[in-house]
Chain A
Amino acid sequence: MADRELAPAALRRSSRRLSKGWYKFSRNRLSVVGLAIIIVISLAAIFAPYITPYPSHAGPYANFKESSQPPSAKHLFGTDTVGRDVFSRVIFGYRYSLMLAVVVISLSAPPGILLGLIAGYYQRTKLETVIMRITDIFLAVPPLILALAITALLTPNITNQMMAVSLMWWPWYCRLVYAITASLRNEYFVVEAELTGARKAHILLRSILPNCVGPILTKVTLDMGFVITLGASLSFIGLGVQPPKPGLGTMVADGAKRLPAEWWMTIFPALAIVLVILAFNLVGDGLRDMFAVEEI
């Protein structure tokens, strides 16, 4: 309630914080470049059906007259073995990659954050032990392996891939938020909130959670890159986006068989993966600088 009455002042404060944040973020030129790349790629992926030269090539299209053409003005990245435009397929491939990353993080971050808050707040209780030991179990094998096992046991497709990766991803958020919460547990503002009789939900979500926002946002950005890598890796093995849909990892794997003569089929999709991951890493670094208080 109080918040709403103070809205204009709060708004001004948050807009000032935003411009200060942008100033800190933009001091790192590379981060701005990364952000620009992400915006361009996202827009291209969203509007892929309208902006790609050959949208129909993202599906079961074949034209053997045009097969295995090297890069040219007509086909920027060349064509694949059945004559589909590699450039168009790469842009559509970004769609699946970004969708995977967004879905996985929106599915796995909230429960991870909540469990981390609870485990960090209820320290030295059974609750903490149970949550953190389960987290340890999930972190005891690389996410790729378990995601691989789950996707393979179910039917390999993009939905199952999203489910499997999401199932593997929450422990990372849990551990991050747990560490921050544990360090804040006995700070005065938390104790004060307890003494005034605030509900636990209020303490966790309104007193502690805002202090985790910086690290969480940084992690989300870096994780976009990691999840895209993981998704591409699964597709590379053949457990992700199924043909004829264009997955970046699938394209790299299929093209690798044609190395070295028809190099464009694999090298361009591989470079496309590198570009998007690099961009998210650059932005993640910028965010880290932005939220870092002690560093000057």
Chain B
Amino acid sequence: MIKYILQRLLQAIVILVGLSLLIFFIARVVPGDPARVALGSLATKEQVQRLRAELHLDKPFPVQYYFWLRGVARGDLGISLYTRRPVIQDLNDYLPATLELVFFCFLITLVVGQVTGVLAGYFRNSWFDALSRLISYGGIATPPFAVAIFLLFIFSNLLGLTPAVGRISMTLSPPPRITGFFVFDSLITGRLGLALNALSHILLPAVSLAIANLAQESRVTRSSIVDNLQKDYVAAHTVYGIPRRSIIFKYLLKPSMIPTVSIMGLDIAFIIANAFLVELVFMWPGFARYAVTVMLNKDLNAIVAVVLVIGVAFAVVNVLVDIVVSFLDPRIRLRGREE
């Protein structure tokens, strides 16, 4: 088991190194001088030259990569040309808001996706099944930024039920930073009102982000439940007189979750990418706007960092998913032991 996880981790590291090379390469072969862009057209040649030297842009590509890698090993991702601050500090500021969004999105996907999927599988071909199929089709076909706009229009603009933008109301001051998640930080410091306020702000963005994956999750869980319902062990349990409800929840849920959880690992990449767009709609002060800004400003260090952060998140979640799946599926867990 441990060997398996280590193997997966090693694989992930190799891929990340490759990814850093790829993005590093792309960022440097494109036309245009990043130093010139950063300093503006008014800067003198000498100033541009000095910045190029500072960024090692005047050296050959492998040397640039070496300097960058050495920095990363020390936890230094370089200086952002756009914000003129260490990139790591920028990430530290912007990332928690996005992580909070992704976390709530995951929570909604997992809970609602499982529940509706199990119900649709259990009451197969009922009106609930038909309804969930209809919603799933819509959810899969609607790009998250469109979902966000529809939800914003209906719930904030027309019905006035939820606040439209931001993480908390403008009049309130944010909670002290402990986890970086506003909802949890306000709960920890005992400010229930602020927590509810933050929750009401995160609801729509998180739902917009969740819907596409939720729809897929629900369908996969449904077909998995339907598949497993036809297995011999379910027939055996039924013959033993075990009530159907406990067959579902005690015996069926765990194997049926395996494909769902595996898919979630792949989905995380899309959730992060879509968070970019949803954040723009709801003016969520997160990673996305920072990422878009630095990309438009050809901010080399920041772009490489942004892409890598996403790559790392993707890799970490997938290793975690592998671990969870191996706990759910004894065949994977025990395979290592037999060898």
Contact = CB atoms under 8 A, between A and B. Distances in A.
A86 interface: no
Interface in A130-158: 133-134, 136-138, 140-146, 148-150, 152-154
B320 to A, nearest CB: 15
Contact of B14 (A133, A141, A274): A133
Interface residues of B, number: 47
B19 A270 contact: no
A259 B152 contact: yes
A82 interface: no
Interface string B296-317: 1010000100110011001100
A253 B281 CA distance: 8
Contacts of B274: 144
B310 A145 contact: yes
Interface in A212-257: 225, 229, 232-233, 236-237, 249, 252-253, 256
B30 interface: yes
A109 interface: no
A140 B315 contact: yes
A126 B140 CA distance: 38
A263 B153 CA distance: 8
Contacts of B140: 281
B327 to A, nearest CB: 24
A133 B18 contact: yes
Interface string B194-228: 00000000000000000000000000000000000
A154 B146 CA distance: 26
A211 to B, nearest CB: 25
A142 B270 contact: yes
A32 interface: no
Interface string A9-41: 000000000000000000000000000000000
B277 A237 contact: yes
A281 B269 contact: no
Contacts of A60: none
A182 interface: no
B106 interface: no
Contacts of B150: 267, 270
Contacts of B23: 146, 149
Contacts of A179: none
Given A148-B292, A274-B141, A274-B142, A236 B277 contact: yes
A278 B14 contact: no
Contacts of A259: 149, 152-153, 157
Contacts of A150: 26, 30
Contacts of B146: 252, 270, 273-274
B9 interface: no
Contacts of B137: 278, 281-282
Nearest to B298: A153
A260 interface: yes
A277 interface: yes
Most B CB within 10 A of own CB, among A141, A263, A282: A141
A150 B295 CA distance: 9
Given A144-B273, A153-B295, A233-B277, A260 B141 contact: no
Minimum-distance CB pairs A-B, first 8:
A260-B157, A142-B273, A152-B295, A278-B141, A144-B273, A137-B18, A142-B269, A153-B30
21 contacts: A137-B15, A140-B311, A141-B19, A141-B310, A141-B314, A143-B273, A145-B273, A145-B306, A145-B310, A149-B303, A152-B303, A153-B30, A233-B276, A237-B280, A259-B149, A263-B153, A267-B149, A274-B138, A277-B141, A277-B143, A282-B137
Given A133-B14, A145-B273, 16 more contacts: A133-B15, A140-B16, A141-B311, A142-B270, A142-B314, A144-B273, A144-B276, A149-B27, A150-B26, A153-B27, A233-B145, A233-B276, A249-B145, A253-B280, A260-B153, A281-B137
